[in-house]
Amino acid sequence: MVSSLIWRRHVPAAALLCVGLQTSLLPAQDSAAARSPATLLSLRDARAAALRLDPAVRVAQEAVDAAAGRERQAAALANPVLAYGREQTSRGRQANAQDIAQIEWPVDLAGQRSARVAAARFRREAAEARLAAARHALDAELVRAYIDAMSAAHRVQLLDGAYRTASEARRVSDERVRAGDVAGYAGRRLRLEEGRYAARLADVVVQARATRERLALLTGVPAERVAVPTLATADSTGTAFGALLDTVLARATVPLALTANHADSLVARALATRADLLGAQRDAQAGLADARLAARERLPLPAISAGYKGEHVQSGANAAGVSLYGFVAGFTVPLPLLDRRGGAVAAADATARQINAEADAVQRRITREVLDALSSLRSAEAERAVLQPFTGAESRLALRAVQAAYAEGEITLTEWLEAVRAWQETELALLSLTTNIVLRRAELARAVGLSLFSSTDSTR
């Protein structure tokens, strides 16, 4: 008995407090929006801003520039060496002086430079692949954040509509209580229901704010000024929201109709186009080029030299000196007696095998990602196909009929509550499924290696 009294006294008060807080927050939010009006952020504009701001893309771009510089350096020829020497000897009245100037140039007979250039080229291509992978990862994260923001905004619309429906039902109930048609319990019960919807609305408003902040973090646009496409209040069904999502994605991204394809063809396409796999393969080729370079470095690198020689001979104090002029030529060859580079060759071979194994691991991971994404997408589409007949315009018409029947006293409060809850749960379930399908479709496109945006969009 005591617990029931506490329930009757405090729970309605808490519900009304939630309603009061919610209604008091709305003017403050409106005034803040008036001070900094939000602008509609398209998905393409959001991507352009994110590409300019994202540090991972900048890091990958600078890595490409650095790899290109190393490739140019690897192609440079070795500098010649200029040497000059003077030798002067004397004994008694005899003197001899020699001046020798020569240029020495190493000769790459083993092909070390070509192997070095090949390794640098593969590493530059791997850096370019990692840049593409960084952009694709940013695209996937941005599309997810954008869709989450749209879904949260639509969820706010649904809960706001349910809150207004409960408020209208409470107003009708209060009129019927004053007229003596129903007992006071109906009004108190509807106040609890109104507080329940107010609390849920406040919760989804906070979630919507969090999604906008995530989108603002990616794009650099203040969260207060981020606005995503939404539906009109009169057409806030899950079916209409799905059509809005398709419209937004069709304007900014390539079509994602991949579910009809066979799993094997999707896996083959992913293995041929994924940027991270291409980068891993280029790293493996660079490792093989390093192994070839280490093997060629075992051969001595000879050098040829050519130059000028001048000699002056003085036989005595009174004798005329004799000057001789000519050229010098020669070559040098290091003798691999102590260091045969065996350890360096073995290490390079082992590193090449390690990188190749890592590329195989990336290939297996990509295959698993494609199959998991395809399975998840097909499961979500099957669930939506089961739920689709019970949503849309027909369900909204049924809800309006229920509201009219309750206003005219044809159904009880319990029947009205059950109908409203059933409609709300169905619409929220459809919203979740629609959002998941679009997200999983985008995830499948990313797993296959397709760019989520057209090639004409800005990439810098």
Residue 362 has pLDDT above 60, yes or no: yes
How far is residue 387's CA from residue 410's CA, in Å, rounded to a whole number? 29
Residue 185 has pLDDT above 90, yes or no: no
CA neighbours within 13 Å on the CB side: how many for 450?
20
Residue 37 confidence (pLDDT): 61
For the segment 218-237, the average pLDDT, to the nearest whole number, is 77
Could you report the per-residue pLDDT of 406-429, keeping only the tens digit for each?
777 777 777 878 888 888 788 888
- Residue 19 three-state SS: helix
Residue 262 confidence (pLDDT): 82
User: What value does the mean pLDDT of the chain take?
Assistant: 82
Q: In what order do the strands lie in the sheet with 94-106?
A: 81-91, 94-106, 303-314, 322-332
Residue 460 confidence (pLDDT): 40
Residue 453 confidence (pLDDT): 81
Residue 170 confidence (pLDDT): 79
Q: How confident is the model at residue 35 (pLDDT cuts 50, 70, 90)?
A: very low
Residue 340 confidence (pLDDT): 85
Least confident of 76-85, 205-214, 353-362, 439-448: 439-448
Q: How confident is the model at residue 250 (pLDDT cuts 50, 70, 90)?
A: low
How far is residue 443's CA from residue 1's CA, in Å, rounded to a whole number? 55
List Cβ neighbours of 86 (8 Å cut-off, separation of 6 or more): 97, 98, 99, 100
| Torsion of Cα atoms, 437 then 439 then 440 then 443, to 10° | 160
- 36 vs 249: which has the higher pLDDT: 249
422: alpha, beta or left? (left if phi > 0; alpha if psi -120 to 50):
alpha
State pTM to two decimals.
0.76
Residue 30 has pLDDT above 60, yes or no: no
Q: What is the DSSP letter of 224?
A: G
Residue type, 302: P
Structure tokens at 34: 């008036």
Residue 34 has pLDDT above 50, yes or no: no
How far is residue 332's CA from residue 147's CA, in Å, rounded to a whole number? 69
Q: How far is CA 321 from CA 93, 101, 144, 458, in A?
A: 12, 22, 91, 78
Q: How confident is the model at residue 458 (pLDDT cuts 50, 70, 90)?
A: very low
Structure tokens at 245: 């999502």
Residue 100 has pLDDT above 90, yes or no: yes
Determine phi and psi for 392, rounding to 5 degrees: 100, -155
Strand 322-332 relative to strand 226-227, pairing: unpaired
Q: What is the DSSP letter of 200?
A: H
Could you report the per-residue pLDDT of 115-139, keeping only the tens digit for each?
999 999 999 999 999 999 999 999 9
- Cα angle 451-213-427, degrees, rounded to a multiple of 5: 75
Q: What is the DSSP letter of 260?
A: T
Residue 445 confidence (pLDDT): 87
Least confident of 120-129, 252-261, 317-326, 331-340: 252-261
Structure tokens at 311: 């000699």
Residue 8 has pLDDT above 70, yes or no: no
- 61 vs 5: which has the higher pLDDT: 61
Range with top average pLDDT, 145-149, 160-164, 334-338, 432-436 = 145-149
Range with top average pLDDT, 27-36, 284-293, 446-455 = 284-293
Q: How far is CA 312 from CA 92, 97, 321, in A?
A: 16, 5, 7
pLDDT above 90 covers a percentage of the chain that reads 36
Residue 94 confidence (pLDDT): 85
Residue 11 has pLDDT above 70, yes or no: no
Residue 354 has pLDDT above 90, yes or no: yes
pLDDT above 70 covers a percentage of the chain that reads 84
Could you report the per-residue pLDDT of 193-226, keeping only the tens digit for each?
888 888 989 999 999 999 999 999 999 888 888 8
Residue type, 53: L
How far is residue 411's CA from residue 418's CA, in Å, rounded to a whole number? 11
How far is residue 412's CA from residue 191's CA, in Å, rounded to a whole number? 16
- Residue 299 three-state SS: coil
Strands (E), 212-277: 226-227
Structure tokens at 287: 């490792």
| Closest residue by Cα to residue 236 from 425, 431, 435 | 431
For the segment 246-258, the average pLDDT, to the nearest whole number, is 60
